[in-house]
Amino acid sequence: MGLLREQFACSQKPVQILIGGLLLGSLLTLPIQGWALFGDSDEDPVSSEKHEEKNCQFIPATPVCLIQPEGFSQATTFNGYQNKEKNAWVMVSEIQGGYASVSKGMTTELLEKEGLHVLDRREVYLNNQKKEGEAIPAQLLSIRQRVKSTGYFKWLLLFGDDDKTIMVNAFYPMQEKVSNPLGQELESILMAAQWDPQRKLDIEANLSFKIKPEKGLKLAQRMQNTLLYTRDGKTPNPSPEDPMFIVGRSFFEQQIKDPLAFAKNRVIHFPTLKDVEIESVEPAKVDKLEGFEIMARAKDKQTASPMTLYQMMLFSGQHYYILVGAVGKNDTENYFEQFKKTAQSFKRE
């Protein structure tokens, strides 16, 4: 249910996460509300490397080590753990933007606007440590949220450095009170989290797909099961007109009765663009998956600069893959074919 939104270039509203200019999804509401870019899977849980000092495991493609909650398995479509029977998750995300500024900007008022009711906020230390010279400051928030008819509690742990912020979200169904046994267990797991900022990461670990980016597109960052490519492999993009390309898979299964209308709707409601006009729609078939390839013209919401948008959406049962490229109109000739060729290189693993 939740597609792209976790920012690789922190916006002025830290809760709303951007990815090189593409609004992908609120990290604070995934995976319980969705936009469906990335979702659930019935694949066997994959193993993760164990930390020698503590009974925790490094979450693949992240520098965070967490104890695995009882009854949870390692998720295959996002970075963390899941328990399908209890409808609960633990998710690790990283966003660009220093911890001090992000945590300060994540005010109670801002969270309330996102439908997140803050029950408690505490200043804590990572892994419960408060040793001089070693302590890593963090914030732990207790939050209540209702999505349609379902209520959830969540623990949100924030920490980081001057360049990035780590967010560890624990979601679980609402019961009589926050301090039910599952909530207490998840709180203790977040409080025992460990972080190795120097850890070398395989940014493409455990993804269910691969692509071969064309010239002028370099891998910049991963957020859950989504990859972001930019011209120089860095984020944020200096300008909204600079090229960026995103590929990802839906988080959860969903019934899509009209795939063409669904694909068009995604283009028309592209988060950072306005005045979107679809110019062409063509059937697509890649890696034995069928879908649609769409080209559209639009304007950037902030600057009104003319933009070109490319989207390929491929359907696989009740999941889908989405590949999106956006670039300023003046660079369309240079990049539109790169977007198409990159999308056509898509292959499931």
Say how many domains are in the chain.
2
| Average pLDDT along the chain | 80
Q: Looking at 63-67, 103-107, 155-159, 313-317, which range is the least confident one?
A: 103-107
* Residues 46 and 182 grouped into a single domain: yes
pLDDT at position 33: 38
| Assigned domain for 17 exists | no
| Structural domain of 136 | 42-195
State yes or no: pLDDT of 162 exceeds 50.
Answer: yes
Specify the CATH number for the domain of residue 214.
3.40.1000.10
Tell me the percentage of the chain whose pLDDT exceeds 90.
43
* Residues 271 and 319 grouped into a single domain: yes
* Residues 257 and 147 grouped into a single domain: no
* Residues 247 and 136 grouped into a single domain: no
For the four alpha carbons of 70, 1, 253 and 145, in that order, the dihedral sign comes to positive
Chain segment 275-321, per-residue pLDDT in tens: 999 999 999 999 999 999 999 999 999 899 999 999 999 999 888 99
* Residues 166 and 229 grouped into a single domain: no
| Assigned domain for 3 exists | no
State yes or no: pLDDT of 225 exceeds 90.
Answer: no
Question: At 291, which amino acid appears?
Answer: G
Domain boundary among 165, 195, 225: 195
β-pair partners for 147:
150
More confident residue, 33 or 80: 80
Pick the closest to residue 143 from 18, 65, 36, 27 (CA basis): 27
Structure-block tokens of residue 157 = 């742990």
Residues contacting residue 251 through CB under 8 Å, at least 6 positions apart: 1, 2, 3, 30, 31, 34, 36, 37, 38, 39, 40, 77, 78, 224, 225
| Assigned domain for 248 exists | yes
| Assigned domain for 201 exists | no
* Residues 132 and 272 grouped into a single domain: no
| Assigned domain for 26 exists | no
